[in-house]
Structure 1
Amino acid sequence: MSDEKKFTVDGPLSDNERIKGQSQNLRGTISNDLTDDMTGGFTADNFQLIRFHGMYQQDDRDIRNERTKQKLEPLHNVMLRARMPGGIIKPEQWLAIDTFAEENTMYGSIRLTTRQTFQFHGVLKPKIKLMHQTLNKVGIDSIATAGDVNRNVLCTSNPVESEVHQQAYDWARRISEHLLPKTRAYAEIWLDGEKLESTEIEEEPILSGQYLPRKFKTTVVIPPQNDVDVHANDLNFVAIAENGQLVGFNVLVGGGLAMTHGDTSTYPRKADDFGFIPLDKTLEVAAAVVTTQRDWGNRVNRKNAKTKYTLERVGVENFKAEVEKRAGVTFEPSRPYEFTGRGDRFGWVEGIDGKFHLTVFIENGRILDYPGKTLKTGCAEIAKIHKGDFRMTANQNLIIAGVAAEDKARIEELARQHGLIIPEVSHQRLDSMACVSLPTCPLAMAEAERYLPDAVTELEGILAKHGIPERSIIYRVTGCPNGCGRAMLAEVGLVGKGPGKYNLHLGGNREGTRIPRMYRENIDEKEIMQILDELIGRWSKEANDGEGFGDFLIRAEVIAPVIDSAKDFYEQPSI
Structure 2
Amino acid sequence: MENNPTQEKVSKVEVIKQNGNFLRGTIEEALTDDKTFFEDENVQQLKFHGVYQQDDRDLRSVLRKEGKEKHYRMMVRARIPGGVLTPEQYLVFDRLADEYNEYGSLRITTRQTIQLHGVIKRNLKPTIQALNEVLVTTLGGCGDQVRNTVCCAAPGHQIYHKEVRRDLLQLVNAVSAKTNAYHEIWLDGEKVPLSDELNEEPLYGAVYLPRKFKLGFAVEGDNCIDVYTNDIGIVAHIDEKRISGYTLLVGGGMGRTASDKLSYPRLATPICFVNRDQLIETVVTIIGIQRDYGNRIERRYARFKYLLDTRGLEWFQQEMESRLNRELVPPRELTWNRANDHLGWHTERVGRSYIGIFVENGRIKDTAELRLKSVLREIVEHFRPTVRLTTQQNIILSDIENSNRSVIEQKLREAGVALAETLSKTKLSAMACVALPTCGLATAESERALPTILPDFERMFQEYGIEDEHISVRMTGCPNGCARPYTADIAFVGRSPGKYDLMLAGDFYGTRLNQLFQELVPIDKLADTVRPIVSAYASEREFRETFGDYCCRVGLDRFRELITKNR
Q: Common fold, TM-score beyond 0.5? A: yes
Q: How many angstroms apart in 1 are the aligned matches of 2:199 and 2:367?
A: 47
In the TM superposition, what is the alpha-carbon distance from 1:413 to its structure 2 partner?
A: 2.6
What is the CA deviation profile of residues 398-428 of structure 1, one whole-angstrom value per residue up to 9, with x for unaligned ones? 0111212233233323222223343531110
3-state DSSP of counterpart to 1:419: coil
Q: Does 1:148 align with 2:144?
A: yes
In the TM superposition, what is the alpha-carbon distance from 1:68 to its structure 2 partner?
A: 1.4
- Equivalenced residues, count: 556
In the TM superposition, what is the alpha-carbon distance from 1:7 to its structure 2 partner?
A: 8.4
Aligned to 1:573: none
Aligned to 1:544: 542
Question: What are the residue-to-residue correspondences of 1:31-42 with 2, within 5 Å?
Answer: 31-37=28-34, 39-42=35-38
In the TM superposition, what is the alpha-carbon distance from 1:242 to its structure 2 partner?
A: 0.9
Question: What are the residue-to-residue correspondences of 1:84-483 with 2, within 5 Å?
Answer: 84-160=80-156, 162-199=158-195, 202-352=199-349, 355-422=352-419, 424-483=422-481
What is the CA deviation profile of residues 113-143 of structure 1, one whole-angstrom value per residue up to 9, with x for unaligned ones? 0000111000000100000110011110111
3-state DSSP of counterpart to 1:462: helix
What is the CA deviation profile of residues 424-448 of structure 1, one whole-angstrom value per residue up to 9, with x for unaligned ones? 3111000110100000000000001
Aligned to 1:485: 483
Answer yes or no: is the 8 Å Cα contact 1:162–1:351 preserved in 2: no
Aligned to 2:561: none
Q: How many angstroms apart in 1 are the aligned matches of 2:483 and 2:382?
A: 33
3-state DSSP of counterpart to 2:337: coil
Question: What are the residue-to-residue correspondences of 1:17-32 with 2, within 5 Å?
Answer: 17-32=14-29
Does 160-169 or 245-254 show the bigger shift? Answer: 160-169
Q: Partner amino acid for 2:88?
A: E
Q: Partner amino acid for 2:38?
A: F
Q: Partner amino acid for 2:383?
A: H
Does 380-389 or 535-544 show the bigger shift? Answer: 380-389
Aligned to 1:58: 54
Q: 1:303 to 1:92 in 2, by over 3 A?
A: same
Q: Does 1:48 align with 2:41?
A: no
Answer yes or no: is the 8 Å Cα contact 2:469–2:546 preserved in 1: no
In the TM superposition, what is the alpha-carbon distance from 1:167 to its structure 2 partner?
A: 1.8
Q: Partner amino acid for 2:165?
A: Y
Q: How many angstroms apart in 1 are the aligned matches of 2:3 and 2:205?
A: 20
In the TM superposition, what is the alpha-carbon distance from 1:285 to its structure 2 partner?
A: 0.8
In the TM superposition, what is the alpha-carbon distance from 1:164 to its structure 2 partner?
A: 2.2
Q: Does 1:528 align with 2:526?
A: yes
Answer yes or no: is the 8 Å Cα contact 2:154–2:342 preserved in 1: no
What is the CA deviation profile of residues 154-208 of structure 1, one whole-angstrom value per residue up to 9, with x for unaligned ones? 0112334643222212222221111011101111111111112343754311111
Q: 1:7 to 1:203 in 2, by over 3 A?
A: closer
Q: How many angstroms apart in 2 are the aligned matches of 1:436 and 1:400?
A: 24
What is the CA deviation profile of residues 254-309 of structure 1, one whole-angstrom value per residue up to 9, with x for unaligned ones? 11110112111111111111121000011101110110100011111111111100
Answer yes or no: is the 8 Å Cα contact 1:112–1:119 preserved in 2: yes
3-state DSSP of counterpart to 2:283: helix
Answer yes or no: is the 8 Å Cα contact 1:24–1:198 preserved in 2: no
In the TM superposition, what is the alpha-carbon distance from 1:326 to its structure 2 partner?
A: 2.3
Q: How many angstroms apart in 1 are the aligned matches of 2:351 and 2:146?
A: 35
Q: Partner amino acid for 2:486?
A: M
Answer yes or no: is the 8 Å Cα contact 1:21–1:209 preserved in 2: yes
In the TM superposition, what is the alpha-carbon distance from 1:328 to its structure 2 partner?
A: 4.1
Aligned to 2:562: none
Q: How many angstroms apart in 2 are the aligned matches of 1:559 and 1:146?
A: 40
Q: How many angstroms apart in 1 are the aligned matches of 2:135 and 2:324?
A: 31
In the TM superposition, what is the alpha-carbon distance from 1:329 to its structure 2 partner?
A: 4.2
Q: Partner amino acid for 1:51?
A: K
Q: Partner amino acid for 2:401?
A: A
Does 465-474 or 343-352 show the bigger shift? Answer: 465-474
In the TM superposition, what is the alpha-carbon distance from 1:531 to its structure 2 partner?
A: 1.6
Q: Does 1:514 align with 2:482?
A: no
Q: Partner amino acid for 1:341?
A: R
Answer yes or no: is the 8 Å Cα contact 1:150–1:217 preserved in 2: yes
3-state DSSP of counterpart to 2:388: strand
Q: How many angstroms apart in 2 are the aligned matches of 1:307 and 1:67?
A: 39
State the TM-score, normalized to the length of structure 2.
0.95
Q: How many angstroms apart in 2 are the aligned matches of 1:376 and 1:75?
A: 25
Answer yes or no: is the 8 Å Cα contact 1:158–1:165 preserved in 2: no
Answer yes or no: is the 8 Å Cα contact 1:148–1:212 preserved in 2: yes
In the TM superposition, what is the alpha-carbon distance from 1:331 to its structure 2 partner?
A: 2.6
Q: How many angstroms apart in 2 are the aligned matches of 1:337 and 1:161?
A: 24
In the TM superposition, what is the alpha-carbon distance from 1:16 to its structure 2 partner?
A: 1.0
Answer yes or no: is the 8 Å Cα contact 1:101–1:120 preserved in 2: yes
Answer yes or no: is the 8 Å Cα contact 1:249–1:278 preserved in 2: yes
In the TM superposition, what is the alpha-carbon distance from 1:382 to its structure 2 partner?
A: 0.9
Q: How many angstroms apart in 2 are the aligned matches of 1:492 and 1:8?
A: 42
In the TM superposition, what is the alpha-carbon distance from 1:327 to its structure 2 partner?
A: 3.2
Q: 1:321 to 1:161 in 2, by over 3 A?
A: farther
Q: Partner amino acid for 2:87?
A: P
Q: Partner amino acid for 1:245?
A: R
Q: How many angstroms apart in 1 are the aligned matches of 2:44 and 2:96?
A: 25
Q: Partner amino acid for 2:357?
A: V
Q: How many angstroms apart in 2 are the aligned matches of 1:103 and 1:149?
A: 30
Q: How many angstroms apart in 2 are the aligned matches of 1:384 and 1:501?
A: 43
Q: Does 1:74 align with 2:70?
A: yes
Answer yes or no: is the 8 Å Cα contact 2:2–2:292 preserved in 1: no
Does 225-234 or 414-423 show the bigger shift? Answer: 414-423
Does 9-18 or 148-157 show the bigger shift? Answer: 9-18
Q: 1:111 to 1:162 in 2, by over 3 A?
A: farther
Q: 1:135 to 1:5 in 2, by over 3 A?
A: closer
Identity of aligned residues (%): 37
